[in-house]
Copies of this chain bind each other. A is one copy, B any other.
């Protein structure tokens, strides 16, 4: 009797004699890549990209093996396609297919012992050893004739003819051997192989295919209420519209708005996160919900749903997509608190449990209790929220603190939404432990915030971006790099002034195909922390309405516009995988290339925001001709330099632009 665990798992199946044919399967397939957690999670691609699959494939004995990569778009009428696999040596095989539509693809592998190829291999050796092969030619004739039964006309006739010729006594022996081993015969036999006892890899692996913006995007975060052109007035969606040309001129393609819903008044936070708001203070947009509505409502002072839809339409004219925030917690005044008391946890005194991260208390926020017996209704309601905004035209969501809600909920929600709307993008705002961040990416988030903000020196940057772009992580985790957010003003930015902002901008925009800034705080180099050592802004926009002087002459808007233009014009900057680091003999100079076959961008950044730094960059790894001079073109300031060989001198003054973005000549 096989054991059942107390958890009701079925006993392990022991290898049995199995169903007809099973015992004669001789191929083995293992070590399949990409494959996340044994196939538990999908890999990610965008439309037009290629999935390169590798596997160890072999059989017993000396017979030749053939293998194919099988793939299909899910939810299509079943239409399995096949791509060839190439033997790389050492039993390693590789094949590829291109994903052409958003949605989900599946792939797996098939392998079989190939009698005709085995026969050819053996024939060659026997012929080389000058052995008599007349009986082998008879066997070959049989294989060709059998293949003729699998092939359509006229190839069937051709195959049969070849088969007959192999045993025609009139045809000279050497001609028959030549025919048997000819590329023509091989090519036709390859198309009609005998796949007796073929083995299919038992896992079907998944690819989630997104649209291109999932891989390449430039985000601008902005508080609508701070958009009024004149001070002292709450901004509206109409003011946002007026701000669109400014955002478009900087070259951003995603405009992310913090929550636009009614804000609670109970325990509303005041300026600088004061425990109690003063009269007329607006509160944090993340304290969602009031008598005026919840997740599906709009803060009345911002405008109406119609105004919002008009903003979306206008944004589209500027090629900007609006991203909304999904912040699934409630202010004490959110309608759910009244309508669904069972979705909230109670304290012993019967009051609703507010959010806390002891010793911190967030009395203006009630978390949703995902352990509620009513979890099914809760899940469905939150799905309705997402669908509501999709119906208004939203296709990008930035998800607030997803790591404080259950993994299963996100996996379900994202799968449900993407099944109907495969073009939707979810950005995970999980600043937490690495394994939790990676898990969220695995289970479906399209993009993820990263530790970029806290990776400032050369070693930290090199190590982190190697992990993100040169390990299995890259198959499912797409970083979105933010030098700042309304919650994150790093020490590097407090102390480094404008040069620090420029350096971090260029790092974010060139290390990451997707990046974002929280503006106008960023382009205006807002650098005052709430207190020394704090990552909170002084007079944070989270708790008050700001007026930003976006026309200030020291604004970085012009540089940002230039950098985003460079990104649009250079495919190498539109993907993360082609990143490579290069040595510089100065630890304050950070050097890397991003490459596609036709485009090589070399970036050198001075990480020191105080002093000019110089050094020799070493591009040995690019395999340049050491004797051939070449021109490098700085795309920021249009300067051109003649360089020689792999080692060249660079000097960067932080008071100018503290970085080069060079385009290198490519073969083409």
Interface residues of A (CB under 8 A from B): 1-7, 9, 12, 14-17, 22-26, 28, 30-31, 37-39, 56, 58, 60-62, 70, 72-80, 90-91, 106, 108, 110, 121-122, 125-126, 128-129, 131, 135, 138-139, 142, 196-197, 200, 204, 206, 347-349, 356-359, 370-371, 375-376, 379, 403-409, 411-412, 415, 419, 433-436, 439
Contact = CB atoms under 8 A, between A and B. Distances in A.
Nearest to A358: B125
Contacts of A56: 435
A6 B82 CA distance: 11
A412 B108 CA distance: 25
Contacts of A24: 370-371, 375, 406
A410 to B, nearest CB: 9
Contacts of A356: 122
A22 B408 contact: yes
A269 B405 CA distance: 74
A7 B200 contact: yes
A436 B138 CA distance: 32
B359 A126 contact: yes
A79 to B, nearest CB: 8
Given A30-B37, A408-B15, A2 B74 contact: yes
Given A25-B406, A131-B359, 14 more contacts: A3-B79, A5-B80, A5-B106, A7-B70, A14-B415, A25-B408, A30-B439, A56-B435, A60-B403, A60-B404, A60-B405, A61-B404, A91-B433, A135-B348
Contacts of A128: 359
Given A129-B358, A129-B359, A28 B60 contact: no
Number of copies: 2
Nearest to A23: B375
A370 B12 CA distance: 26
Nearest to A356: B122
A227 B2 CA distance: 47
B435 A58 contact: yes
Contacts of A375: 23-24
Nearest to A108: B5
Contact of A61 (B125, B376, B403): B403
Contact of A78 (B4, B75, B135): B4
B15 A197 contact: no
B38 A74 contact: no
B23 A406 contact: yes
Contacts of A358: 121-122, 125-126, 129, 131
A23 B408 contact: yes
Most buried by B among A3, A79, A359: A3
Contacts of A411: 15
B2 A204 contact: no
Contacts of A379: 17, 23
Most buried by B among A23, A73, A376: A23
Contacts of A72: 3, 5
Contacts of A408: 15, 22-23, 25-26
A534 to B, nearest CB: 18
Contacts of A26: 370-371, 406-408
A248 to B, nearest CB: 37
B14 A419 contact: yes
Nearest to A6: B80
Contact of A5 (B4, B70, B197): B70
A75 B17 contact: no
A57 B298 CA distance: 39
Contact of A348 (B37, B90, B129, B142): B142
A10 to B, nearest CB: 9
Nearest to A409: B23
A134 to B, nearest CB: 9
A435 B90 contact: yes
